[in-house]
Amino acid sequence: MENCIFCKIIAGEVPAKVVYEDETVIAFEDINPVAPVHILVVPRKHIPTFNDIQPEDRELVGHLAWIIKEVAKQQNIDEKGYRVITNCGEDAGQVVFHLHFHLLGGRTFGHNLVGKS
Ligand code: AMP
Ligand code: ZN
């Protein structure tokens, strides 16, 4: 997709600190981390939002979940714990419209899941 920053990272046109990649998924460090570990786990396929997941993407989304768990292990945050977030649409504050999961760890997060901006 034109003008999609994550498609450009996937195409190698924009640099990123890649921590994992395979045929369908790539994971790289967030450029503006909010935790000691802040990785974005991203399908190579351009799916704009969580709402746009199609029946044929179910295997891919399952694979994304598996890789999030594997990257958590690679980053040594699996035992202490971590948070996985996806922002869908305007109210959630989604900025990059290419599906991605934030993997956050290395600190505590408390129980506030409903913070307002
Ligand atoms: P959101 O769409 O709200 O889930 O957030 C998009 C995330 O992408 C933010 O945490 C940004 O810091 C991150 N981001 C934007 N551009 C880049 C980039 N070029 N490399 C790595 N992370 C990025
Ligand atoms: Zn894209």
Which of the residues are catalytic? 100
- Total domains, the chain: 1
Residues paired with residue 54 on neighbouring β-strands, in sequence order: none
Residue 65, domain member (yes or no): yes
Per-residue pLDDT tens over the stretch 61-117: 999 999 999 999 999 999 999 999 999 999 999 999 999 999 999 999 988 776 665
Residue 114, domain member (yes or no): no
Residues with C-beta atoms within 5 A of ion ligand 2: 1, 4, 6-7, 46, 98
pTM, rounded to two decimals? 0.96
For 101, phi then psi, to 5°, come to -115, 125
Domain that holds residue 98: 5-105
Residue 111, domain member (yes or no): no
Edge to edge, the sheet with strand 37-43 lists 18-21, 25-29, 37-43, 101-105, 82-85
What CATH number has the domain bearing residue 35? 3.30.428.10
Residue 73, domain member (yes or no): yes
Ligand 2: distance of its center to the CA of 110 in Å? Answer: 32
What are the C-alpha distances in Å from 71 to residues 2, 22, 24, 40, 74? 28, 12, 15, 10, 5
